[in-house]
Amino acid sequence: MMMPPRHLMSCCLLAMNLHTVSAGAADPAGDAVLKPAAADSVTKTYPPAPRPAHESEPLADQTPRCLAQGDGYLRARIAGSIQGELDWGNEGTHCTGTIRPAGQGIRIHFSRSEAAADDIEAHGAAEDATRPSARQSKTDTGRPANVGAAHRLVLVFGITGLREGQSAKAQPVNLTVIREGRGQFYSTQGDDKCLLDEVIQTPIIGLPRRLRSYRIVARGFCTEPARAVRGPGAILLSRFDFAGQVDFETQDTEDESHMAMKVQGTAQDAGNPDAQALDRFFPRAHLRIATPDARLHDFDVWLADNDARRARGFMHIEQLDANAGMLFLFPRQERIAMWMKNTHVSLDMLFVRADGTVDRVVEHTKPLSLETIESIDPVAAVIELKAGTAARLGIRKGAQVMHPAFGRP
């Protein structure tokens, strides 16, 4: 294990109990073991300063949950390029709802890891070998191990004209279906192909920092398919019903065309050697950041959720997409320090508390620097984004990060 530079040893180890982690550590989470590193290959340090027991706050359970009260779900019959009976319960399902761009109704998102969504079957040339088979090993939860973590099936329902708290019948709805990580995007491209028989909104009481949140329950059907935005393929939801939530204090800034561009960009990662290298060691996830001006911004991130992954970070990466990043998760809330050793791209670092609140933002870090970048106050996570992202999107102290690790799906 490589020791930190002498100036770190003299001040930080004594004053902060600074630890370093070798990039040669075994990956306890799965099938990849990082090879022993050369003497200069440690890229991150993070110092767990000793804290009194009452100040240590463990991270929330990272299992996605649609609704805090436990009664979210999505059920649908889907046919065509993707086939199956979707029966997603509250556990393992990520759901959000926001105002559509320009206030044109609402948009409800449901998503689930394909490793967990074993109720679908994909057809066509776009399908790849990452889909689990019946012979693959299972975890103790009965799910395939380390399969499909980077791939999610996403269903988005856009309900035009629905106002806050309003219930309605015979409501037009447009449908978007995305297979994240595979570059597949299907859309009805209008709200004349699907219909909600009924939609009901009821206020959610007691949700922290959310005074205008509603549980939304709906059922409906589509008479025409959602077609692939690029290439052949179509899918039809002959029936569906769901219970999710919508927050009228936030607005989704991304229209369907931008969503399609993002999905196609994810598909292009196959030609990005840096992304391929990261995918070999890190699972992928999605997170959303709500800025203080009530705007939402989505990011596709790699998860650094154990010692080996936290040590590696963005080491030796030379290019980073605008909507990409890395989420470093720590076992408990404590003082954290990062550095830029062997990190060639400048970054913005967000230090995040256990409740998802951004506590500190450090912009434009210096590549390859050995200087420590500290959280100052105890935090539970760090998000690294491409330099300039925080300023461009208005991400600053007080922003809210939405990810299951913070109890905010």
193: left (phi over 0), alpha (psi -120 to 50) or beta: alpha
Length of the chain: 409
Mean pLDDT, to the nearest integer, of 198-219? Answer: 82
Highest-pLDDT range among 56-70, 253-267, 278-292, 328-342: 328-342
Given this model, what pLDDT does residue 228 score?
87
Given this model, what pLDDT does residue 7 score?
34
Cα distance between residue 192 and residue 223, in whole Å? 9
Bridge partners, 279 (sequence order): none
DSSP 241-290: EEEEEEETT-EE---HHHHHHHHHHHHGGGG-HHHHHHHHH--EEEEEEE
Given this model, what pLDDT does residue 33 score?
34
Phi and psi torsions of 238, nearest 5° = -75, -20
Given this model, what pLDDT does residue 244 score?
95
Given this model, what pLDDT does residue 80 score?
93
> For 278-336, what is each residue's pLDDT tens digit?
888 888 888 999 988 878 899 989 999 998 899 899 998 888 888 899 999 999 999 99
> For 27-48, what is each residue's pLDDT tens digit?
434 333 333 333 343 334 444 4
**Helices (H), ranges, 128-206:** none
407 and 380 Cβ atoms separated by less than 8 Å: no
- The ranges of the chain annotated as CATH 2.60.120.1140 are 6-60+272-406
Given this model, what pLDDT does residue 14 score?
32
Given this model, what pLDDT does residue 211 score?
65
Least confident of 168-182, 197-211, 278-292: 197-211
User: Residue 207 — pLDDT band, cuts 50, 70, 90?
Assistant: low
Given this model, what pLDDT does residue 171 score?
93
Given this model, what pLDDT does residue 408 score?
66
DSSP reduced 3-state for 183: coil
Given this model, what pLDDT does residue 318 score?
87
Given this model, what pLDDT does residue 396 score?
94
308 and 328 Cβ atoms separated by less than 8 Å: no
Cα distance between residue 156 and residue 175, in whole Å? 6
Q: Which amino acid is at 283?
A: P
Query: Does position 368 have pLDDT exceeding 70, yes or no?
Result: yes
Mean pLDDT, to the nearest integer, of 78-97? Answer: 92
User: Residue 249 — pLDDT band, cuts 50, 70, 90?
Assistant: confident
241 and 285 Cβ atoms separated by less than 8 Å: no
Question: Nearest Cα to 368, choosing from 46, 48, 47, 41?
Answer: 41
Given this model, what pLDDT does residue 5 score?
36
Cα distance between residue 100 and residue 301, in whole Å? 24
Query: Does position 231 have pLDDT exceeding 90, yes or no?
Result: no
> For 137-173, what is each residue's pLDDT tens digit?
333 333 333 334 457 889 999 998 888 888 999 999 9
Distance of alpha carbon 408 from the chain centroid: 11
Question: Nearest Cα to 359, choosing from 332, 333, 330?
Answer: 333
Given this model, what pLDDT does residue 135 score?
32
6-60+272-406: CATH topology is Jelly Rolls (2.60.120)
